[in-house]
Amino acid sequence: MRIVKLISETQSIISEYKANGKRVGFVPTMGALHKGHLSLVAQSKRENDITVVSIFVNPTQFNNLNDLKTYPRILDKDLDLLSEYEPDLIFIPEAEEVYPEPDTRVFNFGDIEKVMEGKNRPGHFNGVAQVVSKLFDYIRPNNAYFGQKDFQQVAVIKQMTKNLELDINIVACPIIREVDGLAMSSRNMLLSKVERKNAAKISETLFKACNLVPDFSVSQLKEWVIAEINNNAYLEVEYFEIVDDTNLKSIEKWDDSDNRIACITVQVGKVRLIDNISL
């Protein structure tokens, strides 16, 4: 398990792997690792000769500076966890290494960036595209692994890869959940004990919602989910949308799409959590 901080050294190592015909899998993270991240590492190791993990809290994707400031950073613990999975290379750059000068690139992802997270976090996906495109350039992976919890982000990265004509396979991996159903997230560690207990209501409600299709109309189900979660004093829904899982367009009737996904963002105290489920 080799730890590298410089882009030049990373590129040199990757070039050697590639010259030897090695297939490279890449797992980009912002640290504060949990079993969800580790499942991506495990899948990459199964499907590639070499696995690279990056740990970098990307400043350009935070539209809330306080969110950037409070994002958990526990590098020593992250490295301990990764040592059990033994990725071949861990890339841990400083912000000045990735952004020696401001990145002024503006990406266009069409309608998929104008809804849900894109609508509620202006500039977020542009920042994601900036850093992921840079990381792809450094690592040049054959396969890159992302968690399905960030459903819209995966859609954006797939579109970015297509727009930039990159020969990289984007692999979306299943959501990993806690025993009580809460989607694993680095932000979960910021919850108080009572907030953490009540946060399980989010996934519990989504699971129940699956059983209400098609007895409820789309609008009725959306109203029910929002009311059910907001009835908990610790939770407040920011948005809940039911969309086609390819183009992310909202559906009004169940027969508008055969591939529906329900996406939700909930404020739990000062912590913002996202989740989704197929309907």
Residue 59's CATH number = 3.40.50.620
Which positions are annotated as active-site residues? 37
- Whether residues 116 and 208 share a domain: the answer is no
Q: Indicate the pTM of the whole model.
A: 0.96
- Whether residues 35 and 150 share a domain: the answer is yes
Q: List Cα–Cα distances, 100 to 8, 29, 30, 67, 138, in angstroms.
A: 13, 20, 19, 23, 15
End-of-domain residue from the set 151, 173, 195: 173
Pair 132, 124: CB distance under 8 Å: no
Whether 96 maps to a domain, the answer reads yes
End-of-domain residue from the set 147, 173, 199: 173
Task: Provide the domain count of the chain.
Answer: 2
End-of-domain residue from the set 124, 152, 173: 173
Q: Please give the pLDDT value at position 65.
A: 87
Structure tokens given for 221: 């189900």
State the burial class of residue 258 (Cβ atoms within 10 Å of its Cβ: 0-12, 13-18, 19+): exposed
Range of the domain at 256: 186-278
Which single residue is written with the structure tokens 């894109």? Answer: 118
- Whether residues 229 and 110 share a domain: the answer is no
* Alpha-carbon span 26 to 137, nearest angstrom: 12
- From the list 41, 212, 32, the residue with the least C-alpha distance to 223 is 212
Q: Please give the pLDDT value at position 162.
A: 97
- Whether residues 167 and 212 share a domain: the answer is no
- Whether residues 164 and 195 share a domain: the answer is no
- Whether residues 217 and 92 share a domain: the answer is no
Q: Please give the pLDDT value at position 126.
A: 97
- Whether residues 102 and 28 share a domain: the answer is yes
Long-range pairs for 83-88 at CB < 8 Å and ≥24 separation? 83/1, 84/38, 85/38, 85/41, 85/42, 85/45, 86/1, 86/45, 87/1, 87/27, 87/41, 87/44, 87/45, 87/51, 87/52, 87/53, 88/1, 88/2, 88/17, 88/50, 88/51, 88/52
State the burial class of residue 128 (Cβ atoms within 10 Å of its Cβ: 0-12, 13-18, 19+): buried
Whether 178 maps to a domain, the answer reads no
We report the CATH number of the domain holding residue 264 as 3.30.1300.10
* Mean pLDDT of successive 10-residue stretches along the chain, which has 279 residues: 97 98 98 98 98 98 91 97 97 98 96 95 96 98 98 97 98 98 97 98 98 96 98 98 96 96 98 97
Whether 245 maps to a domain, the answer reads yes
Whether 179 maps to a domain, the answer reads no
Whether 161 maps to a domain, the answer reads yes
Q: Please give the pLDDT value at position 101.
A: 97
* Alpha-carbon span 10 to 89, nearest angstrom: 8
- Whether residues 43 and 153 share a domain: the answer is yes
Whether 82 maps to a domain, the answer reads yes
**Beta carbons within 10 angstroms of residue 138's beta carbon:** 19
Q: Please give the pLDDT value at position 63.
A: 87
Q: Please give the pLDDT value at position 244.
A: 97
Q: What is the CA radius of gyration of the chain?
A: 19
* Alpha-carbon span 12 to 92, nearest angstrom: 15
- Whether residues 134 and 208 share a domain: the answer is no
- Whether residues 128 and 210 share a domain: the answer is no
Q: Please give the pLDDT value at position 264.
A: 98
